[in-house]
Amino acid sequence: MAVAEKITYTSTPEQVESMHAAFDRALEEVRAELGQTYPLIIDGEERSGASTFEVRSPGDHDIVIGRFAAGGEADVNDAVAAAKAAFPDWSRRPWQDRVAIMRRAAELIRERKFRLAAILILEAGKNRIEAIGEVEEGADIVDEYASQMEENEGFTRRLDSLDPHERNRSVLRPFGVWAVLAPFNFPNALSIGMSSGALLTGNTVVYKPASATPLSGYEMARIYADAGVPAGVFNYVSGSGEAVGDPLTHHPDVDGVVFTGSREVGWDLYKEFSKDFPKPCITELGGKFTVVDRSVTPGRTVSIHDTFEEAGSARDRAVTHESGNCRQWPDWASQAVRNHRRVRAYPAGRAIPASGCLKAGRSCSAGA
């Protein structure tokens, strides 16, 4: 399958129109597949869970994205065991082989770009530009990590020594089994970023998608398999945080964890993960942002794009510095409320108009 042309600021109207036509076809194909039941993938084999959970589109609750296997502690144990068993062979493979496999994964992401983006629109509520951009970002992340491995020759370096009979070198060694817990707001790019870094460096992965966006994670698992990642190296276990996340992050054979999500969950994970000895725990934690404006005036615009771009991490406070003209705050606040009312919601899959408050690809100010 040919890789879809990348759209940039220099793309012609004909190229953009061709992109939209290809995207519309992919969207219809994804719509036709909605409502299926999706399994777990452990040691390269699909398996059902003890039960399933249903996921509906956030933009239209009448749309059933699918029914997904609800994993449990037994599934987690099997997935960790499979990852641990696959670790010796995967970690001993030449780093060049792992780079080649992951570069193939990046190619497949680009080949399936519109399909993956269509899933993001229906499953995560993104608009067309954001969805395509996220998928492109995921492929770019894999290529960047692969380039770093190549530029640093697998991070094996000869070191200086004081004694002529002494030979020193620094060697990158993988940890082992990593738990990767993904967020709902960037289920494609962040899942790929967290998992591909672990895989490239010789680790194996047990991956838990966010319960709101498991289809994006399932598609990622299929891409890794199609790219040549061996069975057991990447395992996909969908389910709740209580049933899957907790036993996974507390499993004694998990050697590292990377998590993107709430501050509360991430902070507890950081404190509890290393009980007997230090183990790597990487957390990217979200929260509500505060916008600080030092020059409040009635005519100053209020940025809607910056407020809502971080899906799931919207700013919910606006603060003016004491040096600002606080007497004008009521006018500024009233303007913000009026401008927020100008935001329009568009049905899932519909292209965002290139004008108005949600101008695609541009910073969207709520002011006049």
| Structure-model confidence comparison of residues 70 and 315, the more confident one | 70
Q: Which range has the top average pLDDT, 7-11, 34-38, 171-175, 320-324?
A: 34-38
In this prediction, residue 19 carries a pLDDT of 84
In this prediction, residue 139 carries a pLDDT of 96
Length of the chain: 368
Q: How far apart are the C-alpha atoms of 42 and 221, rounded to whole Å?
A: 10
pLDDT-derived band of residue 330, with 50, 70 and 90 as boundaries? low
For the chain, the structural domain boundaries read 13-157+173-285, 288-368
In this prediction, residue 335 carries a pLDDT of 62
Q: Mean pLDDT throughout 148-160? A: 88
In this prediction, residue 18 carries a pLDDT of 85
pLDDT-derived band of residue 321, with 50, 70 and 90 as boundaries? low
Q: Mean pLDDT throughout 295-316? A: 48
In this prediction, residue 1 carries a pLDDT of 60
pLDDT tens by residue, 53-71 = 999 999 899 999 999 999 9
pLDDT tens by residue, 204-220 = 999 999 999 999 999 99
Task: Supply the mean pLDDT for the chain.
Answer: 83
In this prediction, residue 263 carries a pLDDT of 86
- Token pair 């292209």: residue: 351
Q: How far apart are the C-alpha atoms of 249 and 179, rounded to whole Å?
A: 7
In this prediction, residue 14 carries a pLDDT of 84
C-alpha of 257 from chain center: 15
216 and 192 Cβ atoms separated by less than 8 Å: no
The architecture in CATH of the region 13-157+173-285 reads: 3-Layer(aba) Sandwich (3.40)
Angle, nearest 10°, between helix axes 189-200 and 95-111? 160
In this prediction, residue 310 carries a pLDDT of 44
pLDDT tens by residue, 91-140 = 999 999 999 999 999 999 999 999 999 999 999 999 988 999 999 999 99
- When mean pLDDT is compared across 76-90, 178-192, 329-343, the lowest value belongs to 329-343
| Structure-model confidence comparison of residues 182 and 164, the more confident one | 182
Q: How far apart are the C-alpha atoms of 308 and 365, rounded to whole Å?
A: 11
Q: How far apart are the C-alpha atoms of 29 and 353, rounded to whole Å?
A: 23
| Partners of 57 in the β-ladder | 60
Q: For 53-109, what is the HEC assignment?
A: EEEEECCEEEEEEEEEEECCHHHHHHHHHHHHHHHHHHHHCCHHHHHHHHHHHHHHH
In this prediction, residue 342 carries a pLDDT of 52
| Partners of 52 in the β-ladder | 69
In this prediction, residue 364 carries a pLDDT of 30
Q: Mean pLDDT throughout 197-201? A: 96
Q: Which amino acid would we find at residue 178?
A: W
> Which tokens hold the place of 327?
């007497």
- Tally of CA atoms within 13 A in the half-sphere of 235 that contains its CB: 30
Q: For the chain, what is the HEC assignment?
A: CCCCCCCCCCCCHHHHHHHHHHHHHHHHHHHHHCCCEECEEECCEEECCCEEEEEEECCEEEEEEEEEEECCHHHHHHHHHHHHHHHHHHHHCCHHHHHHHHHHHHHHHHHCHHHHHHHHHHHHCCCHHHHHHHHHHHHHHHHHHHHHHHHCHHHEEEECCCCCCCCEEEECCCCCEEEEECCCCCCCHHHHHHHHHHHHCCCEEEEECCCCCHHHHHHHHHHHHHHCCCCCCEEECCCCHHHHHHHHHCCCCCCEEEEEECHHHHHHHHHHCCCCCCCCEEEEECCCCEEEECCCCCCCCCEHHHHHCCCCCCCCEEEECCCCCHHHHHHHHHHHHHHHCCCCCCCCCCCCCCCCCCCCCCCCECCC
pLDDT > 90 fraction of the chain, expressed in percent and rounded: 57
pLDDT-derived band of residue 145, with 50, 70 and 90 as boundaries? very high
